[in-house]
A and B are shown apart, each in its own frame.
Chain A
Amino acid sequence: MSRSFSRLVFLVTAIFFVLFFLWPISETLYGAFIGSDGKFTIDYIAEVFRNPLYVEGLWNSLQMGVWSTLLASLIAIPLAWMSDRFFFPGKSLLGALVLVPMIMPPFVGAIGVKQILGQQGALNALLVDIGLLDSTHPIDWLGEGRIWGVIILNALHLYPILYLNVLAALANVDPAMEEAAENLGCTGFRKFCRITLPLIMPGIFAGGTIVFIWSFTELGVPLMFDFTRVTSVQIFYGIKDIGANPFPFALVVVLLCATVLLYAGSKLLFARDSHAMMAKATSQGGPRQAGLAMGLVCSGAFGLVTFLAVLPHIGVILVAFSTDWYQTILPRGWTLSHFEAALGHSLTLPSIQNSLKYAGLATILDLILGVAIAYVVVRTRLAGRQILDAMAMLPLAVPGLVLAFGYLAMTQEGKPFAFLNPTIDPLIILVIAYSVRRLPYVVRSAAAGFQQTSVTLEEAAQNLGCPPLRTLRRITIPLIAANLLAGGLLAFSFAMLEVSDSLILAQKQQDFPITKAIYELYQLLGEGRFVASALGVWAMAFLAVTIIGTSLILGKKLGAIFRA
């Protein structure tokens, strides 16, 4: 493509990033560091660390992040190892199913977890039933602060990200490295710890960083658990008086610094130390057929993890169909009335429409930006293209909560972007918010497509008289369609179930997307959780239809979509 066009693409994407990524962050920084007198101050940040309420919130956030990441690693690493080493019964299906929890909304799952692990929930009822528990002294599984419920849900939601990273890292390990260890007498678990684990550390860290950032700043799940002593929720409640209160700004900045430091740290640590990629594999590794026992262990582990991960959502489905569910293993009676109630509620239909509109537009924007950025990064030698690439990946390092807050801050009255203020019409700012956060997935999958497609295929078309832009349409796009579909689908699914942007930026009832509608329904007394669950089931069913439909069109297995 011509140089001037590449430069134009570069310029447009760079401006987009400055306006809708750097600007909101800088507005937040401004609010946190500039006092009411217009002078620089660190008082607000210092106050955050002096106020015991905020310190407790930060401490809980940190625990949420650390434990969720550790728990997710404990699930993901053994699974990835099994998948890398063995063929076992049902591997392709189980390998695809194990990824499904990634697109299940954890914040809806919270309703199910409370139903199952709550003091009057299904697990305690089961234990009472089989005589292991006295019904007058139920066990408090979730802990007083309910933090464990949040951690379990986060881990069960996010382990697929780690699983995919570790799997890729394991595939990169030269089997000869392990053979050399065996040759020198180091085998089994010892070999795994001394050779394999160090070699895949970069992969574990890459996935772990994303999982940590995600769970460290998770908003939806703690909200559903009424777990308010955590920074993300404190920020959410602080938004109501955003004009007058500098502390939400300061809290956001503290979260941002922590995540950016972690992200940059892990990048630096492994940029210097990339031994895993040193040599090309010299011998053919690949999985081998597992014996009967090992095969059962593998299949069992995959099945169990998938079951546990979707259990909260099964709980949600049961809640949605139940007349009442209290102190029993299963609901006492069944009904369809909640679905009618959900559909009949004035929030529901508009919210589904809104979500489709926001997520659809955001996906289109992502695809346009993603293809453009990937093209410049892979196909041109433009100076600064690496900066563009790094920029497009940055939204992974910045929590959604931080960006959502930044968008709110930059559209306050008197600011240059006040015309986008979400209390007037959140459409534009929500679409932008949704798309910025999902851009990395689309850029990555488009870039992979460009890399796999030989540039001579494009040159051949130009040689035969096809101008560059038409070449992109007639040759390149059809060839990378599968990648774009995969990236777009992931972006769409995540956007449909987005929580922090939706809760923070959609402020009027008629603008609510599905997630905020579920949250609002859940707050209703009495029927609330049943109707919210019913809407959650609608949302999940809708998502399932989208994904299954696309995978049918693609003619590929479900798992292939998420590995692209």
Chain B
Amino acid sequence: MIAITIEKLVKKFGDTVALNGISLRIEPGELFFLLGPSGCGKTTLLRNIAGFYIPDEGRILFGDEDVTALPPHKRNTGMMFQSYALWPHMTVAKNVAFGLEERRVPQAEIRQRVQTALESVQMGPYAERKIAQLSGGQQQRVALARALVIRPRCVLLDEPLSNLDARLRLEMRSEIRRVCKENGLTAIYVTHDQKEALSISDRMAVLEGGRIAQIGTPEQVYRRPKTRVVADFIGETNFLNGKIQSLDGAKALVETNEGLFEGFLGDPEWMPSAGDSVLLSIRPESWSLCSAPALMNSVKGRIGESVYLGEVAQYQLQASAHDLKVFELNPHISARAQGQEFFALASVDDVVVLKP
């Protein structure tokens, strides 16, 4: 179990700056996610950690050891590739044994460890199969076993579930968390699927244009996004434009053309002043629909389109200047007829004030 420290990493490809001064620390045994839209630099960062790219500036530390200039084969990381990269000319067992052979582990021990690794991903009976004879989910398990059997210093996962169907994805993501936690592994997981990140990560970093937009636990990132991009990328949200009326520590009073709102600043280091333009982010599920207005944090509107999904209903609420998304749990959709007027209320805790 080691910590991974990344210091002011810069990586350029020609004129494009793929990573622009990334610094972060991943704690020992942590399941850490790198998240962001495509082109944000998350895979580039992972490949720097694996050693396939050498950064132009900055350092990468495994524990106290500086590995920045170390070639990939000396880093002892276990990587799982998006395409799995299983070798078609070898059997399942040979694929898994490869890393141990490179480490000159005695034959008897290799056999035993390969078998254990395959069993731990429920692939024990498939040891002598050819890779082409496996389904996508089975290949994924073999790739995981191959990365873990060498007892790496850390596991690197590059969108490992993106080639699987939805059901298998659900099953495998908890499987990956279980295996990482059971072995006490430091793991870095790259994905663009926010559900994967929210459901199994200890902490995550959201990347945006080669920089880190936010680091935090799933709840911190979801409930207190620091930037507009983070709020937009993780989950769904409603944006309202407004101007700051007054400030009270991290709390701000914001005037919008739907009414007055009180909320918390998303970025605690941000120091706006009264009169500044801001953006409010309010999640669809934090609204509650009432028939009476409140002093603050309420929007008047008419029900537009609605989608009934059983456990939840999604309404479009047509307010004076915005169309809002409103989710209602355990809904009574017959009581929310199209055209009917309602007030949507959000609690202070659910209103996030962002830079526009």
| A interface residue numbers (CB < 8 A to B) | 2, 454, 456-457, 459-468, 470-471, 474-475, 478-479
Contacts and interface: CB of A to CB of B under 8 A. Distances in A.
A463 B85 CA distance: 11
Interface string B251-272: 0000000000000000000000
Contacts of A465: 73-74, 76, 99, 102-103, 150
B81 interface: yes
Contact of B81 (A460, A470, A478): A460
A464 B87 contact: no
B78 interface: yes
Contact of B85 (A454, A470, A478): A454
Contact residues on B (Cβ < 8 Å of other chain), bracket: 20 to 34
B318 interface: no
A402 B87 CA distance: 45
Nearest to B146: A464
A279 B52 CA distance: 33
Contact of A462 (B71, B83, B86): B71
Mostly helix, strand, loop or mixed at chain A's interface? helix
Nearest to B143: A460
A461 B98 contact: yes
A103 to B, nearest CB: 28
A463 B72 contact: yes
A457 B74 contact: no
Contacts of A460: 79, 81, 85-87, 146
A463 B50 contact: yes
B83 A468 contact: no
B87 A479 contact: yes
Nearest to B54: A3
A467 B99 CA distance: 11
Interface string B178-220: 0000000000000000000000000000000000000000000
B275 interface: no
B75 to A, nearest CB: 8
Select the residue from A457, A467, A468 with max chain B CB neighbours within 10 A.
A457
Interface string B75-113: 111110111011111000000001100110000000000
A460 B99 CA distance: 10
Interface of B: 50-52, 71-79, 81-83, 85-89, 98-99, 102-103, 146-147, 150, 156
Contact of A457 (B50, B72, B82, B85): B85
Q: Which 5 A-B pairs have the closest CB atoms?
A: A464-B99, A460-B85, A456-B85, A465-B102, A462-B72
Contacts of B74: 465
Given A460-B79, A461-B98, A463-B50, A468 B73 contact: yes
6 contacts: A456-B81, A456-B82, A459-B52, A459-B81, A460-B87, A468-B71
B87 A475 contact: yes
A369 B76 CA distance: 32
A454 to B, nearest CB: 6
Contacts of A467: 71, 73
Given A465-B74, A466-B73, A459 B85 contact: yes
A264 B81 CA distance: 43
Contacts of B85: 454, 456-457, 459-460
Select the residue from A456, A474, A478 with max chain B CB neighbours within 10 A.
A456
A464 B98 contact: yes
A244 B72 CA distance: 60
B88 A479 contact: yes
Nearest to A3: B54
Given A461-B98, A466-B98, A454 B83 contact: yes
Given A464-B98, A465-B102, A478 B89 contact: yes
Select the residue from B74, B87, B103 with max chain A CB neighbours within 10 A.
B87
A85 to B, nearest CB: 31
A465 B52 CA distance: 13
Contacts of B71: 2, 462, 467-468
Contacts of A2: 71
A475 B150 CA distance: 18
Contacts of B81: 456, 459-460
A459 B89 contact: no
Contacts of B75: 463
Given A463-B72, A465-B73, A465-B74, 13 more contacts: A456-B83, A457-B85, A459-B72, A459-B81, A460-B87, A462-B51, A462-B71, A462-B73, A464-B73, A464-B78, A464-B150, A471-B73, A479-B89
Select the residue from A459, A460, A464, A465 with max chain B CB neighbours within 10 A.
A464
Nearest to A460: B85
A468 B73 CA distance: 8
Contacts of B89: 478-479
Contacts of B156: 463
A82 B21 CA distance: 60
Contacts of A456: 81-83, 85
A462 B60 CA distance: 18
A336 B89 CA distance: 48
Contacts of A462: 51-52, 71-73
Contacts of A466: 73, 98-99, 102
Contacts of A457: 85, 87
Contacts of A470: 102
A479 B89 CA distance: 7
A324 B87 CA distance: 60
Select the residue from B51, B73, B75 with max chain A CB neighbours within 10 A.
B73
Nearest to B89: A478
Contacts of B52: 459, 462
Contacts of B82: 456
A96 to B, nearest CB: 25
Nearest to B74: A465
A457 B95 CA distance: 11
Contacts of B86: 460
B79 A463 contact: yes
Nearest to A1: B71
B201 to A, nearest CB: 22
Contacts of A461: 73, 87, 98, 102
Select the residue from A460, A474, A478 with max chain B CB neighbours within 10 A.
A460
B28 to A, nearest CB: 21
A327 to B, nearest CB: 60
Contacts of B88: 479
Contacts of A471: 73
B50 to A, nearest CB: 6
A55 B102 CA distance: 66
A457 B131 CA distance: 13
Nearest to A461: B98
A200 B345 CA distance: 68
A478 B95 CA distance: 14
A459 B150 CA distance: 16
B185 to A, nearest CB: 15
Contacts of B99: 464-466
Contacts of B79: 459-460, 463
A475 B88 CA distance: 10
Given A2-B71, A468-B73, A463 B78 contact: yes
A461 B71 CA distance: 12
A463 B73 contact: yes
